[in-house]
Every structure is written in structure tokens, then in C-alpha cells.
């Protein structure tokens, strides 16, 4: 029949349309698929022998949705909103033809049905899903700056009601089969081997070949518009929550809310046209481009280990050693055990190691309470973790992750003790966040097998891992480190060795800028709120308390001792020093820039005003936002020019996933490209004149701006650099 759909009709007249988009790793919506589906629907509608249709897949997934790589270049190609809307409406019309073809259609969902894949299933008259954890259903478009553009904002509310549909649309949450059945998104959940039989059984029942919303008298469950007081409250609260959470930086949630509110009061065909209009406005804008490029395409490339050296045999870690059972070490042990590894969790004493395992037990206990895993699964995972104080237990480890105190002497000691036991071919990785890997490797008798693997806290929730290559780290060691991160299903970026590496350097400028503002007399609440309005999850003063002022001061003093006359005091040096003198060391030490009263929300420390009196004239929020965004972007440019980071894609991923740089920007270098290099250089020049040399654009950046060469190729490649 076609290259993407197999068409078979049995003796009962049941046509089975089996999706198989050859040449793609998963089924995605391509122009070829759209053409083939359209031709198949012509045959279904006009062939009198066809009595009904089963729509299913030849792959493990049902349909993963649109091919984002086809959409991500729309903004750079100058696609207008009207043209972008046509992309949506073309697919929407095909799905509408499926829905109104005059023959009953059942979706037999055997695996993932996301985005346009779920929208395809929603346009069928009945949905049967296989009872397997791999069968995830959802409309995640909001996570890449878009809205569902093939009926998702219209059919889902009409199916399950607006109040139940909005959270799924606005959060992009994925549903397991049982929850999808409970909400009414699907009609049946069946064992995988019964999927097609149940689909055909429904067709044999001679069902109605029309959707509920095409029948006379249909009403959206729960009402529409302002007909229901509770629904009116939903939209009013929803609008306020979106404004509070997005600070108007993300247009997609507001567009989804408007599409649902307006569309559900219209006949479906007009509602679909409205949805396409909103889709076009989003696709033709920079935010969707930035989010698609960084959070989907580049993230996917990183997770497929695009930076892995070629020619090195793939490896797997069966037994892992973790040195240090504190919060970070326990987190590494947990995610590694979840990935199926046996883990030796080692600390100075058995009691300390047991406390680390107890942290894991508590975290897993919360999952059991919430129904996210069974007690038996928790027990099996915990059984993989061996707490110990004996280095001999490390024998046979394929890889060791050192996560001890940020002290060069302590790290050197545990390195030597571990290497005396582990196999000669084992990789040794330090989880340091600031100390240069090459210097730490001096304690190793095999520095070519020494590398940095920097996790972020909390390890179980943070997706990023920074892999730091020392001057002597071999390509094989890098490959094996990336293979380990791949086993954990986390997102790696590769960074070359330097003090602070990439993420800590960029994060440090954010914290330092906030503290510098404080020293200038900017109101603490204004500092924090400006950062939040830019899109940072936490203000610089609050995050300073979380990582502790004590640690920041310790790292700074270590750098001062190491660099001697070459050391340049950071702009927040005096602020850190004064906070330490005041004993305001951070949240864990009882208080820092904030107070943490028992049983009450944290509040800014009243003593800040005495240390740093408020200036008579306060800056605008826009100026503070520019300082936060530009100082980190400029530091990232320096990292790229110094060879600390090799690819703009890694810089963007590291900033967004590692240090909370706002996702709407696409990351530090995407932010510069979006603003325009000349405009960015000019803005930094203005900030330099007012706030100092830290905002001075580099000569190379000025030259790049004059040449008009962006960091990311507009034609787009995942590894653009």
C-alpha cells in the first residue's frame, strides 16, 4: 500500500492499518505518513467491503508524534504564523477525515502514544491500550513551547471535561494505561497479547461510526465557558497560576488555555481552525525554536552519546564503587542501583555508610507510599547497595565514583586506597564540582583512567551529568564514563578541565551577581523577584543558602591559595566574607541570607539592611534581569573560547538542565543568538560602563557579531559548534 502504512483487509471486512515509518527510530509523523494516511482513508471510505478499521503499529511504540527536527527550523526559516498554522491544519484535516470516514475506527495502542500520536488515537472512535509500562499516553507539546496542533486541545476536553484535561495539557504529563482508563482517555486496558483481538471484537459489535461530539445534543462534560461557576473559577485561577509560574516568558500555556476556553464553545471544525491559529503563533516564535532545539533535539543527541569517541567498544558497569555516603554519594548509589548495578557504598565508618543507605531507603519509601513502586521493588533495589568501610569490598568494580569532601588532600587519600584494590582496567571518577581534574589525577597511579563525573543535587531528580576530561584522560576513559551515564539514562555534556569547569563557573556568576546587587544597596526582595521574573527557579540569595555561603567561601579561598598573585577576587568576595564573619553560613547551618523559622516559610534575614543599607534609588526589574542573563551568557562565551566547552549545544544544555538558566531562552548561547549578537554586545557594553569589566564582551565575540555568525547554525545540526 505505502511506505509507512500496511493495509490489510480480512474476510470480515475489517481493515488493519499498521503504521511502520521506515527509516526512523520510532514512528513519527512525516509528510510521507500524512500522504499515506490520506490515501488509506480514501480507500476505507470508498471500499464497500471495508466494515471497520483497526489502527495499530508494527513498532514497539504506537506513534511518538511529530518529527521535531522538521519543526525546529521554522523560526530560522522565517516561517510566518499563517504558514505555520497551515502545517497544523493540514494534519488536523486528515485526522478529521479519519473521524468522519463513515466507518468505525479503533486505535489498538501497543506502546507510546504522545503528541500527534495520541491526537491520532483521539480521532478514532474507540481506544484499546496494552497493559504495559511502555504504553505511555500524553500531550507533552507544552514542554517544547508548543500546543497540540492536531485536535488535542479540542478532543481531550470534549472527551473527559475541561477541568480534567487542562492539567494534562498544561503540564504535558504522561499517563500509564490504568490512569488513562480511569480518566476516560481510553476505553479498555488489556493484556498485550489480546490487544488486536479486543479491537476487532469491538468492531464486531457494530458500533456507531461517529464521535460523541458529532452527535446531536452533545455537551462537553462539566460545561464550557462561564456556564459553570466551578469552571469559571478554573479558568480564572488557571490564568493567575500561569502568570505566576511563567512570568509571561512562556507563551504556550496561555495559548493552550485560550484555545481550550474559546474552542470548546465552537463547533469542532471551527475549533480546530482556532487551535491551528494558536499553534502557528507559537511555532513561528523564538521560544518554541529555543526549547525544541535544546530540550528535545540536542538533549536527545546528548543522551544518544553524540560526544562519545568513535572506535571504542561499548561497555557496561556491573559493579560500581561509591566513595562517600553523604547526600551526593547516596544519590549516586541510588540511581546506579536503579539502573541494575551492584553498588559498594563506602565511608569512613560502617555507621556512616549505613546512614547513606538509610537515605536511599527513605527516598524509596516515599515512592512506595505514593504508589510509584512496590515494597518488593524497593527491597530488591536496596539489596544491590552494600554499605561498608572496607576498601577490599571494591574488588571487581568496573568504575568508582569518588564523592567525598571537597578537599584535595582527602580526595588524594581515597584515590590511592581505592586504586590499590580495584581492577587495573577500572575507571576512577571524581564527583568534584570545582577542583581541576588534572590536579586530582596526580594522586592516581593511572591518570589516563581518571576522569570527572559531576552529578547535580538531588541526584535522583537532576537529569544532567557533567563529564570532565582531564589533560591525561584517555578517549577510552571518556567513552566508558559516557557509557555509564547512558546506563543511568541521564543527559551528559562533555567539558574540558578547568577550575570550576563549565556549570560551576556559570552558576557562580549568577550567585555573585545577586550578592553584588546586595552590596550596591538593591533591595533583597527585588533581587530575588527579578531573578524569578527572568525565569530562574530560585533567586541568587536563596540558592546561596542552599549550596551554603560556607562552601562558596571555602572554594574561593582554595582558589586564592592555589592561584596566588593570579587570583582575582570575585565581585561578591566582601559579601561572602562578611556573611561568614556574621555566622550566616547557609540553610543547613541555621540561616544565611534567609531565616528559616520552624514551621513557617523562610523569610529574608532582617539583618541584611544593617549590613548593606538600601540605595535611595532602586534599579528597574528589567535592568536586573539583563544583568542575570547577560553575565552568565558572557561567561559561557569565555568558556567556549577557552575550550572548556566545545559545542554550543552542550553549553545550552548545561545551563538549562544544570544551573536553572531559563528554558525559554534555550540556554546561554541561544539567548545571545535570539537577542542578536550585535544587540547583545551593545547591551554588555552598557552594563560594563555601569557595573564593571565583568560585562566586557571578548574580542572574539565582537568579531563574531561583526561577521553576523551566530553560535547555532540556522540550518540546524544537533552538534552545531
Residues recorded for the chain: 721
Report the distance separating Cα 527 and Cα 719, nearest Å.
36
Report the distance separating Cα 533 and Cα 690, nearest Å.
22
Which run of H or E residues covers position 54?
Answer: strand 52-57
Say if residues 524 and 539 touch (Cβ distance below 8 Å). no
User: Which residues, other chains included, contact 28 with Cβ-Cβ below 8 Å and sequence gap of 6+?
Assistant: 21, 63, 64, 65, 66, 67
608-637 as b/e: b if 16+ CB within 10 A: beeebeeeeeebeeebbbbbbbbbbbbbbb
Look up cell 504495559; give the residue.
132
Grid coordinates given for 218: 452533545
Report the distance separating Cα 463 and Cα 492, nearest Å.
8
Closest by CA position to 34, among listed 126, 116, 153:
116
Check residue 586 and report its DSSP letter: B
Residue 187 to residues 61, 182, 227, Cα–Cα distance (Å):
19, 9, 28
**Catalytic residue list contains 454:** yes
User: Which residues, other chains included, contact 63 with Cβ-Cβ below 8 Å and sequence gap of 6+?
Assistant: 19, 27, 28, 29, 57, 112, 113, 114, 116, 117, 118, 120, 121
- Residue 542 has φ and ψ, to the nearest 5°, of -65, -45
Report the distance separating Cα 677 and Cα 675, nearest Å.
7
Say if residues 543 and 515 touch (Cβ distance below 8 Å). no
Closest by CA position to 562, among listed 402, 404, 403, 408:
408
- Residue 127 has φ and ψ, to the nearest 5°, of -135, 120
Report the distance separating Cα 16 and Cα 9, nearest Å.
6
Report the distance separating Cα 511 and Cα 490, nearest Å.
26
Q: What beta strand segments (E) does 71-161 contain?
A: 105-109, 113-114, 126-130, 137-138
Say if residues 677 and 708 touch (Cβ distance below 8 Å). yes
Look up cell 544544570; give the residue.
658
Find how far residue 370's CA is from the centre of its chain: 22
Report the distance separating Cα 278 and Cα 87, nearest Å.
12
Report the distance separating Cα 689 and Cα 15, nearest Å.
71
Q: Left (φ > 0), alpha (ψ -120 to 50) or beta: where does 659 sit?
A: alpha
User: Which residues, other chains included, contact 43 with Cβ-Cβ below 8 Å and sequence gap of 6+?
Assistant: 7, 15, 50
Report the distance separating Cα 561 and Cα 544, nearest Å.
22
Q: Tell me the β-bridge partners of 137.
A: 113, 175
Say if residues 126 and 53 touch (Cβ distance below 8 Å). no
Report the distance separating Cα 674 and Cα 251, nearest Å.
16
Find the catalytic residue in 46, 248, 454, 691.
454
How many helices (H) and strands (E) the chain has is answered by: 31, 19
The set of catalytic residues is 454
Amino acid at each position: 500500500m505505502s511506505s509507512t502504512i500496511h493495509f490489510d483487509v480480512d474476510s470480515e471486512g475489517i481493515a488493519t492499518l499498521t503504521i511502520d515509518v521506515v527509516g526512523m527510530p520510532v514512528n513519527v509523523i512525516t509528510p510521507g505518513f500524512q500522504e499515506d494516511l490520506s490515501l488509506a482513508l480514501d480507500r476505507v471510505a470508498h471500499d464497500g467491503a471495508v466494515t471497520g478499521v483497526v489502527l495499530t503499529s508494527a513498532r514497539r511504540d504506537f506513534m511518538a508524534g511529530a518529527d521535531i527536527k522538521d519543526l525546529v527550523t521554522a523560526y530560522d526559516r522565517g516561517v510566518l504564523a499563517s504558514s505555520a498554522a497551515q502545517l497544523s491544519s493540514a494534519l488536523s484535516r486528515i485526522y478529521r477525515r479519519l473521524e468522519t470516514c463513515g466507518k468505525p475506527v479503533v486505535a489498538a495502542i501497543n506502546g507510546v502514544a504522545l503528541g500527534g500520536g495520541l491526537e491520532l488515537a483521539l480521532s478514532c472512535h474507540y481506544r484499546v491500550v496494552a497493559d504495559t509500562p511502555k504504553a505511555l499516553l500524553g500531550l507533552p507539546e507544552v514542554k517544547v513551547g508548543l500546543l497540540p496542533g492536531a485536535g488535542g486541545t479540542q478532543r481531550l476536553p470534549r472527551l473527559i471535561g475541561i477541568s480534567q484535561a487542562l492539567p494534562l495539557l498544561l503540564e504535558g504529563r504522561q499517563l500509564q494505561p490504568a490512569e488513562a482508563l480511569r480518566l476516560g482517555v481510553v476505553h479498555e486496558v488489556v493484556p498485550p497479547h489480546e490487544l488486536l483481538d479486543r479491537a476487532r471484537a469491538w468492531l464486531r459489535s457494530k458500533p456507531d461510526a461517529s464521535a460523541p461530539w458529532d452527535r446531536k445534543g452533545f455537551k462537553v462534560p462539566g460545561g464550557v465557558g462561564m456556564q459553570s461557576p466551578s469552571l469559571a473559577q478554573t479558568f480564572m485561577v488557571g490564568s493567575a497560576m500561569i502568570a505566576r509560574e511563567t512570568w509571561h516568558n512562556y507563551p504556550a500555556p496561555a495559548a493552550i488555555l485560550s484555545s481550550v476556553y474559546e474552542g470548546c464553545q465552537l463547533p469542532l471544525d471551527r475549533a480546530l481552525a482556532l487551535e491551528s491559529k494558536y499553534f502557528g503563533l507559537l511555532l513561528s516564535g523564538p521560544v518554541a525554536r529555543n526549547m525544541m532545539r535544546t530540550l528535545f533535539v540536542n538533549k536527545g543527541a546528548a543522551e544518544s552519546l553524540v560526544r562519545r569517541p568513535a572506535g571504542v567498544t561499548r561497555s557496561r558497569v556491573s559493579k560500581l564503587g561509591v566513595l562517600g555516603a553523604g547526600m551526593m554519594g547516596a544519590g549516586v548509589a541510588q540511581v546506579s542501583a536503579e539502573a541494575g548495578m551492584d553498588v559498594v557504598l563506602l565511608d569512613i565508618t560502617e555507621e556512616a555508610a549505613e546512614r547513606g543507605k538509610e537515605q536511599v531507603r527513605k527516598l524509596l519509601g516515599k515512592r512506595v507510599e505514593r504508589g510509584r513502586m512496590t515494597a518488593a521493588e524497593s527491597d530488591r533495589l536496596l539489596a544491590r547497595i552494600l554499605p561498608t568501610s572496607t576498601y577490599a569490598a571494591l574488588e571487581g568494580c568496573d568504575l568508582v565514583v569518588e564523592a567525598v569532601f571537597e578537599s584535595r588532600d582527602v580526595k588524594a587519600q581515597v584515590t590511592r586506597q581505592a586504586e590499590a584494590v580495584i581492577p587495573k582496567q577500572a575507571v576512577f571518577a571524581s564527583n568534584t564540582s570545582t577542583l581541576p581534574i588534572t590536579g586530582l589525577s596526580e594522586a592516581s597511579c593511572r591518570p589516563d583512567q581518571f576522569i570527572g563525573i559531576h552529578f547535580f543535587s538531588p541526584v535522583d531528580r537532576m537529569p544532567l551529568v557533567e563529564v570532565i576530561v582531564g589533560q591525561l584522560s584517555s578517549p577510552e576513559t571518556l567513552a566508558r564514563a559516557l557509557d555509564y551515564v547512558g546506563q543511568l539514562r541521564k543527559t551528559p555534556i562533555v567539558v574540558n578541565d578547568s577550575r570550576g569547569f563549565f556549570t560551576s563557573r556559570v552558576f557562580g556568576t549568577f550567585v555573585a551577581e545577586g550578592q553584588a546587587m546586595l552590596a550596591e544597596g538593591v533591595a533583597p526582595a527585588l533581587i530575588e523577584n527579578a531573578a524569578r521574573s527572568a525565569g530562574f527557579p530560585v533567586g541568587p540569595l536563596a540558592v546561596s543558602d542552599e549550596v551554603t555561603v560556607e562552601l562558596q567561601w571555602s572554594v574561593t579561598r582554595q582558589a586564592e591559595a592555589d592561584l596566588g598573585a593570579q587570583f582575582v577576587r570575585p565581585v561578591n568576595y566582601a559579601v561572602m566574607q562578611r556573611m561568614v564573619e556574621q555566622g550566616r553560613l547557609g540553610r543547613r547551618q541555621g540561616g544565611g541570607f534567609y531565616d528559616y523559622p520552624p514551621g513557617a516559610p523562610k523569610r529574608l534575614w532582617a539583618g541584611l539592611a544593617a549590613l548593606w543599607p538600601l540605595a535611595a534609588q532602586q534599579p528597574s526589574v528589567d535592568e536586573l534581569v539583563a544583568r542575570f542573563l547577560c553575565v552568565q551568557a558572557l561567561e559561557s562565551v569565555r568558556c567556549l573560547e577557552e575550550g572548556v566547552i566545545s559545542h554550543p549545544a552542550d553549553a545550552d544544555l548545561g545551563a538549562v538542565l544544570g544551573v536553572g538558566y531559563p528554558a525559554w531562552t534555550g540556554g546561554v548561547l541561544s539567548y545571545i543568538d535570539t537577542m542578536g549578537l550585535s544587540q547583545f554586545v551593545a547591551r554588555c557594553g552598557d552594563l560594563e560602563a555601569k557595573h564593571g569589566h565583568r560585562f566586557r564582551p571578548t574580542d572574539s565575540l565582537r568579531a563574531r557579531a561583526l561577521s553576523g555568525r551566530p553560535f547555532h547554525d540556522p540550518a540546524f545540526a544537533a552538534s552545531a559548534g
